Amino acid sequence: MRASALAFGFLLILGACAGPAPKPPVSVQPSTLVRTPVSFADLPGWGLSSFRPAFQALATNCAFLEARPHKTSFAGLDAERWKPLCLSLTRQADLSELALRTFFETHFTPFAFTGSAHGFLTGYYEPLLEVARERGGAYQTPLWQKPHDMFTADLGAFDPSLKGKKITGKISQNRFVPYDSREQIARGCPPTCSCQRACDR
């Protein structure tokens, strides 16, 4: 079975998550889109990263389908279409990166979409950062933890009509005020101070 790159993208996006894919907005006009099969070699960066996380995400989703045998659709496709792929997946174990790459290139087909339609795509990105405990060389930008004086207020606790809305700020002179901007934090200059070292933050 060869599934589309769209389905493959959903697998990478969903990972360990489970649930129906969001419905596209009414402005989407599929008839204006042209879908053309392309080669994996046409994908920027293909083969430069490990395939194991994607393989593990696929295994998680196959386990999700196996636990719900009556589910009729998944990632925009008929759930039955996933069964042969999931069955093939269970036969793979401790594969090399080359074998994993071959697996995806065997079971999936990338597509290029062209056209003038507008759509909606939800994606999740989990960055992997190389860091050092001390500044030097390529490591010049510090990663700060959440400031100890930053607080989040749930507005729904004060007004039911504001349920789900939150604001973030800090306490200054017994008042809850907006937190410093990125520029102020970089300069070490809170709104209520003049950037002097004697200023009490």
Q: Is residue 89 situated within a structural domain?
A: yes
- Does 104 share its domain with 175? no
Q: Is residue 175 situated within a structural domain?
A: yes
Select from 63, 91, 114 the last residue of a domain: 114
Among 130, 133, 123, smallest CA distance to 10 is for: 123
CA 16 centroid distance within chain? 12
**Neighbour count for residue 150 (Cβ, 10 Å):** 11
| The predicted structure's pLDDT at residue 22 | 40
- Does 110 share its domain with 176? no
Question: Domain span at residue 46?
Answer: 3-114
Select from 63, 85, 114 the last residue of a domain: 114
| The predicted structure's pLDDT at residue 67 | 83
- Does 162 share its domain with 98? no
CA distances 138 to 20, 118, 191, Å, are 42, 40, 32
Query: Domain count of the chain?
Result: 2
- Does 37 share its domain with 107? yes
Select from 114, 135, 167 the last residue of a domain: 114
Q: Is residue 139 situated within a structural domain?
A: no
What pTM, to 2 d.p., does this model score? 0.46
| The predicted structure's pLDDT at residue 130 | 86
State pLDDT tens for residues 125-179: 777 788 898 999 999 888 778 888 999 999 999 999 999 899 999 999 999 999 9
CATH number, residue 61: 2.40.40.10
State pLDDT tens for residues 77-99: 778 888 888 888 866 666 889 98
Please say if the pLDDT value at position 29 is more than 90: no
Q: Is residue 68 situated within a structural domain?
A: yes
| The predicted structure's pLDDT at residue 101 | 92
In order, the DSSP letters of 79-140 are GGGGHHHHHHHHT--S--HHHHHHHHHHHEE-EEEESS----------------SS-BTTB-
| The predicted structure's pLDDT at residue 196 | 37
